[in-house]
Structure 1
């Protein structure tokens, strides 16, 4: 405990040089703060980390037991202490306890066999896939299919998470019910929004003349008995382990629509890209470890500089859903107020993650980033290889804009007119992929997972539970079942006005 306090003291009292001064003082800065791994370049050089701070953060990580916690994660130990179970998403890509890896491979084999059957028209001439889920059961598949499946030409896949009926109706207008596969993704197979959407899809299919709607249903769940009870044939239930959390689940059977949309070989490439990042995280020294360095950056700005938000801008249309995916991964994982021991944390935890797509955001929110009063660490994510066949000027302009924004945030520009002055010394990280393909994207998402875990371990919090989402659900159920008498006047009035 004393080592932990001493490390935090060293970090919080470290000199705060400007970015320009750091580059001037450290000729080897790029070699120290740029990491190349599996076709991804992680550039942390435009952050305020320096050699001394990095050493202090390594000491902090050692005092917090990061390497021991990392070993426990991959060994399948009960790192999710509040729920008493392991967190074995890495076993889904072959990195974990041998029994868990074998178990995951068995589930993957079952998934592949079902995909082979669908491709052979065993369920009829399927052309459309309607995937209903919410949270981690939707965000991961949506990101991957949008990023990688645009030109796959295999199936037309729609991911619906919103319980708003307008979202379902938009799909009904596009799809042929006789050629639609309904995929119901729910870890418990009891999620209110998902099951309501699934029931509406079945009604649509039946009212459209489909003789056996349940014959076109696939269930993705850690509770297979519940899916069978609901009406799905056991042969079309794809289970996954209870130890795989929802927001970490795209590597499991929840990735079924990804594998169907991209093809099995590409899904395996996605898994291997993530596995390569797992190996990097497991075996690379902390001071050269990309997820660990990223966590050091996060902790420095959240704890020392008191930055309350972190902005992520994808300078690639294919990655437009990345900020939304990261919002859940980071804020649901580390948006905690107590430690694993149940005592209040004494430092800020997860910052608010937000962002968008470049270069659109340059003409919207970048005014605040350059001249506003908030310190906002920025992350740029881009790819060297374009995703289009148009004139090279399109992609060249896109990348130049991304690089220029990072340079401008750092250097700033003096001006006698204060309204035209840029203070500079504003931090950014750039993540540059060789290409947006399954291997690199798998590695990128695994990088973010391990970054979250590193942050949580150093802060002493549990990134694998999410009790904070339960209270609103509980109150929603009670409004339906118990009436409104026990609620505040505002809530009662809103209910009365809406349902009068």
Structure 2
């Protein structure tokens, strides 16, 4: 056993899981009319109803004891204080500093980072306003009407999904396109419909050498030059978010149009940095700043609320409860709002890249599950496909349902139907349908007794399937900022409990290194095929097809 699984708090939770055993949430709701109010809380524009979970006061008490045993609060405070919590890379983790509106100094390696953060935000605001008011023009004097944002991972998902989610707040007259995949079909399709004289390319890569991002940017540069632009004109049409100023200027980007990145900001947390420039271009700086302020409000809640009233802590502990004590291997996110449809993909990277680990901080191989598989889709589409597995499958899949109470320019009937499906699904997952209920429904249907019994058996649903419901007054930029920060902190708390480093990603790095080795052998026909037999055969097959 590892230190964690042998600990008193872990052992107590195993006993709690045995005690609630076959107890059913349906009965709990019947016995406790106040249950929904007891297990819900609101802050930062978000209401979390976690009453449809397989928990009671004793379970929660044991879960909070686990959080205290694992020193969640001291680990949280160390992160906010700029201490080196990413110990494998020797780095602080301070994406929260990028959205800090307290006015306090934030120190990293004896240096206050707030002046540079604020200066960068001033530059972003000025650049965005210059694009919107037409002061920044293309080389032929035309205003910029199209933006191509090129990145990968967090520098792609963050800007793209936040921009999609806030479509009602888009600036008119400026379109933003997002490209990540190195598959040339995507960048070529995007560029084919654009006028190079009215297009701005935003290249986001800390090193200015990320393979996919650099290749797509080189393709965009070639398109720009072939369309009539010159190397000198690139300065008006290309900007970069990068630490590598030398490489960016050699590419042709004006130094004034290179926005910084910092080692203490991981890619999946980078939308709060200048990586968020495409969001600001899409929404306008005022709405982008509101996004930052919403995240800051959730930071304050996370730092100050008691564990028992702390939204990220509660959601994290519920995830640990199902992952480690009920064998759940995945967690589904179900936004009942079309513009939020990309959010499961965003959280997928955030969670799985952060907590998909098997080594604890003490270099001990873990003997417990860490990050679950994160997946999902928008409601109501999923109800007509994968919800079947959640309702009647043999695997336990906890779910997060999300719904804004008000949406801009929405037909009342559509929104009422959307809400009724959202609430109905959580109710169905919780209460299920007994055999007796299914059997009674089939009365007077003209069925034989044998057929009635058989059909009732198939229509029975066990229920007792856990879910959270997150309601927003409306999904404005401020609330979205809080929502993203909520999931960031949830992931952090789970990593703290599992005693893993949530801020490195060595599995990602390995694939990049090996991919570059394979690329060299693909492009160099004389290179020896000295890899494993399968990879050698695949390379040879690809070479012969060219």
Shorter-normalised TM range: over 0.9
> What CA distance in whole angstroms lies between the structure 1 residues aligned with 2:373 and 2:239?
35
Contact 1:310/1:353 (CA < 8 Å) preserved in 2?
Answer: yes
Q: 61-70 or 148-157, which moves further after superposition?
A: 148-157
Aligned to 1:321: 342
Cα shift at 1:4 = 7.4
Cα shift at 1:3 = 11
Does residue 91 (structure 1) correspond to residue 97 (structure 2)? The answer is: yes
- SS across alignment from 2:272: coil
Q: Which runs of 5+ in 2 are unaligned?
A: 107-111, 439-452, 522-526
- Give the number of aligned pairs: 499
Q: 28-37 or 241-250, which moves further after superposition?
A: 28-37
Does residue 495 (structure 1) correspond to residue 495 (structure 2)? The answer is: no
Aligned to 2:500: 461
> What CA distance in whole angstroms lies between the structure 2 residues aligned with 1:41 and 1:276?
14
Contact 1:224/1:237 (CA < 8 Å) preserved in 2?
Answer: yes
> What CA distance in whole angstroms lies between the structure 1 residues aligned with 2:294 and 2:128?
22
Per-residue CA deviation, residues 258-302 of structure 1 (Å, 9 max, x unaligned), is 111111110110011001100000000001100000001100000
Aligned to 1:420: 459
Q: 326-335 or 240-249, which moves further after superposition?
A: 240-249
Return the match for 1:209 from 222, 228, 232: 228
- What is the root-mean-square deviation of aligned Cα atoms in Å? 1.7
> What CA distance in whole angstroms lies between the structure 1 residues aligned with 2:469 and 2:319?
14
Cα shift at 1:27 = 4.7
Does residue 111 (structure 1) correspond to residue 130 (structure 2)? The answer is: no
Q: TM-score, normalised to structure 1's length?
A: 0.96
Contact 1:269/1:438 (CA < 8 Å) preserved in 2?
Answer: yes
Aligned to 1:137: 155
Return the match for 2:10 from 8, 11, 27: 8
Structure 1 residues 330 and 155: CA distance shift in structure 2, 3 A: same
Return the match for 1:45 from 47, 51, 63: 51
> What CA distance in whole angstroms lies between the structure 1 residues aligned with 2:183 and 2:337?
29
- SS across alignment from 1:367: helix
Does residue 312 (structure 1) correspond to residue 333 (structure 2)? The answer is: yes
Any residues of structure 2 matched to 1:257-272 within 5 Å, and which? Answer: 257-272=278-293
Cα shift at 1:194 = 0.2
> What CA distance in whole angstroms lies between the structure 2 residues aligned with 1:34 and 1:407?
16
Aligned to 1:281: 302
- Larger Rg: 1 or 2? 2
Aligned to 2:414: 394
> What CA distance in whole angstroms lies between the structure 1 residues aligned with 2:487 and 2:397?
19
> What CA distance in whole angstroms lies between the structure 1 residues aligned with 2:371 and 2:28?
26
> What CA distance in whole angstroms lies between the structure 2 residues aligned with 1:490 and 1:169?
31
- SS across alignment from 1:357: coil
Contact 2:279/2:288 (CA < 8 Å) preserved in 1?
Answer: yes
Contact 1:413/1:422 (CA < 8 Å) preserved in 2?
Answer: yes
> What CA distance in whole angstroms lies between the structure 2 residues aligned with 1:267 and 1:346?
42
Aligned to 1:123: 137
Aligned to 2:529: 485
Aligned to 1:176: 195
Does residue 156 (structure 1) correspond to residue 175 (structure 2)? The answer is: yes
Q: TM-score, normalised to structure 2's length?
A: 0.88
- SS across alignment from 1:434: strand
Contact 2:352/2:372 (CA < 8 Å) preserved in 1?
Answer: yes
Contact 2:5/2:368 (CA < 8 Å) preserved in 1?
Answer: no
Cα shift at 1:170 = 1.5
Q: Which runs of 5+ in 1 are unaligned?
A: none
Contact 2:312/2:489 (CA < 8 Å) preserved in 1?
Answer: yes
Q: 173-182 or 20-29, which moves further after superposition?
A: 20-29
Per-residue CA deviation, residues 101-138 of structure 1 (Å, 9 max, x unaligned), is 33311211121122233333323310000000000000
Contact 1:383/1:432 (CA < 8 Å) preserved in 2?
Answer: yes
Structure 1 residues 406 and 484: CA distance shift in structure 2, 3 A: farther
- SS across alignment from 1:227: helix
Does residue 200 (structure 1) correspond to residue 212 (structure 2)? The answer is: no
> What CA distance in whole angstroms lies between the structure 2 residues aligned with 1:351 and 1:430?
19
Q: 443-452 or 109-118, which moves further after superposition?
A: 109-118
Cα shift at 1:387 = 4.2
- SS across alignment from 2:208: coil
> What CA distance in whole angstroms lies between the structure 1 residues aligned with 2:245 and 2:6?
44
